[in-house]
Structure 1
């Protein structure tokens, strides 16, 4: 769409009117308090306080954060825009991204009803809010105390939760464009480190790392960035060492048994002490030790797992695309077949639970796992499963052999004792 340079863009006028109203608005963001209570009442796939993009835009319950978006937008543009002409320029640049944005949202039925002006405003306001939020977090030590987002830890937690919902995403190319457009002297050169620094606390006991070989143009959205960062070390290390032949995979490996059954079969479950990636599961065929990093489970662990899993199922359908979250959940599901298994894994420190009881952990894991679909041919833990099952079979075979030998020896002793008794009887007579 051609740029509008000689007249004021209607979206720029609309935004400017909102900014004027904001200047006279003296509300104190009371509507942003008590968000943790809302987490228990909201649909797991819907945002609690923040709408990003067109899917949830305009929801009544999310309007308080809309005011905060415009506050952040005002702070950002005042550093970069001095007049309406400058605001027109921003709007026109966003309009230039409209075709790509509509392609990004092509599976969203709601897109057909959103006109160009509305989409341009959504992309610009939401994108600038996210960019400003990430910058503020980087420099939070310098912030004043009147920003509700940085005054209340719970707000930042819920924002992280909302920012990684699959249906609540903005194209990363929009974020990156606005980031570069508004970057000041001496600021961070790239958006990815800022995004990961803010989002990493949503993940269970894991640090999100910057993936050097992934550029901004390869990132689909913030959830996709989290997925790439969280599992890249595991994917790199996996290679062919943990997989079996594609031709024979169905004949060679089966899923492992529950934690309780593995213990009975001689397998020792152990927490991996090194700060390894959560997905780095190892089995020692000689010692029978199955080592796993600790999984911390709290009230909201399901949110990142559900959305990363949904992202894998919906957008990473090629066999060579890593689906390590689903594979990990499938492995955990094998281990956890009852609350008793959760208890054992807690005792071994493989699971750290902040929930009320073992049944709650069991129900949470089963609730997430019901969405898992995996292909037997590219399962990340096929080698581990095969080695564990072989060890269990060998251990049981050894036990049966010893039982037979012991039984035979016992039978021999019984026969000797019987003969001795008979001989004693004859001698007595």
Structure 2
């Protein structure tokens, strides 16, 4: 990749007619913030090496985003664009928490090298390239997001993937508890349905129906989730919503065995591309090991309260048992109906016998 980075830098300098010394001089002015950004990780760097790394990697990243989205930039003979597998590996590298560059450096280099006729800005170009690695492949530009508000690319991905979840009013810690598994909820009369939306965090419980957006799970799913969780645990303030952590915690409650995965898969809530239900179960449990939630700010506390309230009502359990035992197939329903008719005829016969005896 070092050869590819140098090649992209040369192409950028040729197109802009700039010199690399200009970039180095400008980045040196941002160096102090960059040094603080890396703090403990800079023990093996001197400051000249840090500036060189920022210029080389930063130019490579912005050129990569441009070539992916902007027509007219040569890609036919580009090694990176001849291999989808290589682009996927680049996406993985770009959202690694330990690989992040300060967004201020990326934005400066993008602005410095931008042509007068160039359409698009850095944020939409970055999201267009990075969203292909995310479950459900949907990243939305957050209104009023300014480059100076962003720490790095992973922070941009986090804000874009989670911002659509409207925070529900907080429920006091003692008023809510985690819910049972999907299988147990079904036995208590809860119905599972897919919610047709690209916002994976939008989970609702309405009139006995738990509606959950589709979660696509493949071999790549664990990687972005781990890095987003690490970002939430290490860098978000206590008052900030941890969307991904809360979502994984809620799904972990629902999935307590491969049987729960099967139930959610049959409901089309889980779209699995891995080996089997046991593999999905193992993946979710493995990711959950990195989750710490704030009970006072848990995004699904109201959903938990409603679900647990539903499960405590005995009539819901009785109706669920009735449907499961007698209405789970046409033949079971016919048998139940025949038994009811037979019982009714027996009652009528008994009634007539009593009336005739009375007379």
TM-score between the two structures when normalised by the length of structure 1? 0.72
Residues 398, 163 of structure 1: CA spacing in aligned structure 2 closer, same or farther, 3 A cutoff? Answer: closer
Counterpart-to-counterpart distance in 2, 1:155 and 1:395: 55
Please name the residue that 2:191 is paired with: 268
Please name the residue that 2:294 is paired with: 375
Counterpart-to-counterpart distance in 2, 1:397 and 1:151: 57
Shift in Å at residue 238 of structure 1? 2.2
Counterpart-to-counterpart distance in 2, 1:178 and 1:206: 27
Q: What is the Cα-based RMSD across aligned positions, in Å?
A: 1.8
Counterpart-to-counterpart distance in 2, 1:106 and 1:357: 43
1:238 aligns with 2:167: yes
How many residues are matched? 321
**Match runs of 1:304-383 below 5 Å:** 304-319=224-239, 321-383=240-302
1:206–1:277: 8 Å Cα contact kept in structure 2? no
Shift in Å at residue 214 of structure 1? 1.0
Please name the residue that 1:226 is paired with: 157
1:149–1:155: 8 Å Cα contact kept in structure 2? yes
Q: Which runs of 4+ in 1 moved over 6 A?
A: none
Counterpart-to-counterpart distance in 1, 2:93 and 2:233: 20
SS of 2:251 mapped into structure 1: helix
Which of 101, 105, 121 is the equivalent residue of 1:170? 101
Which of 22, 25, 28 is the equivalent residue of 1:95? 28
1:184 aligns with 2:104: no
CA-to-aligned-CA distance 1:328-371 (integer Å, 9 cap, x gap): 00000000000110011100111010001100000011110000
Shift in Å at residue 316 of structure 1? 0.6
2:192–2:210: 8 Å Cα contact kept in structure 1? yes
Counterpart-to-counterpart distance in 2, 1:338 and 1:141: 51
Please name the residue that 2:58 is paired with: 127
Shift in Å at residue 139 of structure 1? 2.2
Please name the residue that 2:309 is paired with: 390
Please name the residue that 2:215 is paired with: 295
Please name the residue that 2:49 is paired with: 118
2:241–2:297: 8 Å Cα contact kept in structure 1? no
SS of 1:105 mapped into structure 2: helix
SS of 1:391 mapped into structure 2: helix
Please name the residue that 2:342 is paired with: none
TM-score between the two structures when normalised by the length of structure 2? 0.86
Residues 180, 66 of structure 1: CA spacing in aligned structure 2 closer, same or farther, 3 A cutoff? Answer: same
1:172–1:216: 8 Å Cα contact kept in structure 2? yes
Counterpart-to-counterpart distance in 2, 1:136 and 1:397: 57
1:206–1:278: 8 Å Cα contact kept in structure 2? no
2:188–2:316: 8 Å Cα contact kept in structure 1? no
Shift in Å at residue 222 of structure 1? 0.5
Q: Where does the alignment leave 5 or more consecutive residues of structure 2 unmatched?
A: 323-359
Residues 302, 183 of structure 1: CA spacing in aligned structure 2 closer, same or farther, 3 A cutoff? Answer: same
2:136–2:198: 8 Å Cα contact kept in structure 1? no
Residues 276, 145 of structure 1: CA spacing in aligned structure 2 closer, same or farther, 3 A cutoff? Answer: closer
Deviating more after overlay: 307-316 vs 150-159? 150-159
Please name the residue that 2:175 is paired with: 252
Which of 201, 219, 229 is the equivalent residue of 1:279? 201
1:81 aligns with 2:17: yes
Counterpart-to-counterpart distance in 2, 1:140 and 1:329: 38
Q: Where does the alignment leave 5 or more consecutive residues of structure 1 unmatched?
A: 1-64, 404-429
Counterpart-to-counterpart distance in 1, 2:34 and 2:228: 22
Shift in Å at residue 113 of structure 1? 2.9
Please name the residue that 2:335 is paired with: none
